């Protein structure tokens, strides 16, 4: 068991890898902790794996994992968390924009008793309209919906205690929501400003095209934080929203023939002449029954989810540095 594990997802970053590996090695060598670095090649096609294998021969504390295809950053991080042996895990981007020299800043906060420490790219070196502005909006939205306020959810440079991330299951694009999920399982959070550098080589894997996926995964996170163990609550509320007006309208229709006693003959005649008053309540009640049924089915699915065995969201092709 190590004191520290560095987890680095890699996808088509061949030009950055030699510089990155040297920087990670230098950062680890300055720490008075037993450590390792795990690089997860997420199906790179530009020779990144060969560069990693070359670096591993030079730095024996490196461990490499290679996926059979591109499964995404969330899957790469999940593989790193599962294979790492460190009591503390630090995630890092492979594009050289995160600075490995900032790792001690995160560890200092961890040593103070926090379970998750998130980096904050306070002076971010990215284009404003295409990268920084969407990030500002996204961070405000995520903080509002999850109730966990952070300046920079998108910063990969984060530190986690092992016992926290082991209780978190990630899918889709949910790696950016780990702090919120960690808070849900009782983890304490802190945030520290970190250095951010402009990209030197390669092409960014992020952009406006990922916004929709982030929004959809945010809805998933909100559901997991509030209703993962009681989905009938949310579906039941939506069903009640449709069902109550439907019942009131149906009650008015049933009392239509005698409604002149209460509302006058004009109201009673209006119910008969306009089919809206007959069709609409049946539709609303049908919607209500559908959502309640969905809630009950979700309750059954939740039981299955919590009782079934975990299935991996990636397939490993080969490993290097795991002997013994």
Instruction: Tell me how far apart the alpha carbons of residues 123 and 194 are, in angstroms, rounded to a whole number.
Output: 8
Verify that 41 and 181 share a domain, yes or no. Answer: yes
pLDDT reported for residue 273 = 59
pLDDT reported for residue 284 = 84
Verify that 12 and 152 share a domain, yes or no. Answer: yes
Residue 151 lies in a domain: yes
User: pLDDT under 70 in the chain at which residues?
Assistant: 126, 130, 172, 202-216, 224-230, 232, 253-278, 295, 299-300, 302-313, 324
Q: At what angle do helices 276-307 and 232-254 cross, to 10 degrees?
A: 160
Instruction: Tell me how far apart the alpha carbons of residues 279 and 284 are, in angstroms, rounded to a whole number.
Output: 9
pLDDT reported for residue 268 = 53
Verify that 74 and 105 share a domain, yes or no. Answer: yes
| Residue 62 bridge partners (DSSP) | 37
Instruction: Tell me how far apart the alpha carbons of residues 243 and 237 are, in angstroms, rounded to a whole number.
Output: 10
Verify that 172 and 283 share a domain, yes or no. Answer: no
Residue 6 lies in a domain: yes
Residue count of the chain, please give it: 324
From 227, 243, 258, give the residue that closes a domain. Answer: 227
pLDDT reported for residue 211 = 62
Verify that 44 and 57 share a domain, yes or no. Answer: yes
Residue 312 lies in a domain: no
Residue 323 lies in a domain: no
The total number of structural domains in the chain stands at 2
pLDDT for 80-91, tens place per residue? 999 999 999 999
Please give the helix or strand (H or E) that residue 276 lies within, else none.
Answer: helix 276-307
pLDDT for 250-297, tens place per residue? 777 666 554 444 455 555 555 555 666 667 777 888 888 888 787 677
Residue 315 lies in a domain: no
pLDDT reported for residue 192 = 96
Domain that holds residue 296: 232-306
Verify that 139 and 245 share a domain, yes or no. Answer: no
Residue 322 lies in a domain: no
From 210, 227, 244, give the residue that closes a domain. Answer: 227
pTM, 2 dp: 0.75
Cβ-based neighbours of 278, under 8 Å, separated by 6 or more? 253, 271
Verify that 123 and 243 share a domain, yes or no. Answer: no
DSSP string, 84-138: --EEEEEE--SSS-B-GGGHHHHHHHHHTT-SEEEEE-TT--S-IIIIIHHHHHH
Instruction: Tell me how far apart the alpha carbons of residues 199 and 207 are, in angstroms, rounded to a whole number.
Output: 14
Verify that 164 and 248 share a domain, yes or no. Answer: no
Verify that 205 and 257 share a domain, yes or no. Answer: no
Structural contact between residues 35 and 8, judged by C-beta atoms closer than 8 angstroms: no
Instruction: Tell me how far apart the alpha carbons of residues 193 and 155 are, in angstroms, rounded to a whole number.
Output: 10
Nearest residue to 100 via CA among 36, 26, 38:
26
214: domain CATH number is 3.90.550.10
Verify that 281 and 243 share a domain, yes or no. Answer: yes
CA distances 22 to 25, 29, 39, 101, 188, Å, are 5, 11, 13, 11, 32
From 169, 204, 227, give the residue that closes a domain. Answer: 227
Residue 56 lies in a domain: yes
pLDDT reported for residue 261 = 42
Q: Give the rounded percent of residues in the chain with a pLDDT score beyond 90.
A: 39
């Amino acid at each position: 068991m190590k004191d520290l594990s560095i987890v680095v997802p890699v996808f088509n970053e061949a030009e950055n890898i030699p510089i990155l590996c040297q920087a990670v090695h230098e950062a680890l060598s300055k720490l008075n902790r037993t450590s390792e670095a795990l690089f997860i090649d997420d199906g790179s096609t530009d020779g990144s794996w060969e560069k990693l294998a070359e670096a591993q021969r030079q730095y024996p504390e490196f461990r490499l994992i290679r996926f059979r295809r591109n499964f995404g950053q969330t899957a790469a991080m999940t593989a790193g968390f599962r294979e790492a042996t460190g009591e503390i895990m630090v995630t890092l981007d492979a594009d050289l924009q995160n600075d490995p020299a900032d790792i001690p800043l995160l560890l200092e906060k961890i040593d103070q008793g926090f379970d998750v420490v998130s980096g904050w790219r306070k002076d971010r070196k990215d284009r404003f309209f295409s990268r920084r502005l969407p990030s500002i909006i996204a961070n405000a939205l995520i903080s509002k919906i999850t109730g966990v306020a952070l300046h920079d959810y998108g910063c990969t440079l984060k530190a986690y205690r092992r016992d926290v991330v082991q209780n978190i299951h990630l899918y889709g694009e949910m790696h950016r929501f780990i702090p919120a999920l960690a808070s849900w399982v009782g983890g304490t959070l802190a945030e520290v400003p970190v250095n951010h550098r402009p990209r030197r080589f390669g092409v960014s894997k992020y952009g406006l095209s990922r916004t929709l996926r982030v929004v959809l995964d945010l809805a998933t996170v909100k559901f997991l934080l509030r209703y993962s163990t009681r989905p009938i609550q949310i579906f039941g509320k939506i069903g009640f929203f449709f069902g109550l007006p439907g019942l009131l309208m149906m009650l008015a229709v049933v009392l239509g023939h005698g409604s002149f006693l209460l509302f006058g003959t004009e109201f009673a005649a209006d119910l008969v002449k306009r089919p809206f008053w007959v069709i609409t309540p049946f539709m609303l009640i049908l919607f209500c029954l559908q959502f309640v049924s969905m809630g009950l089915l979700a309750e059954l699915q939740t039981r299955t989810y919590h009782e079934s065995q975990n299935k991996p969201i990636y397939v490993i092709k080969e490993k290097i540095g795991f002997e013994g």
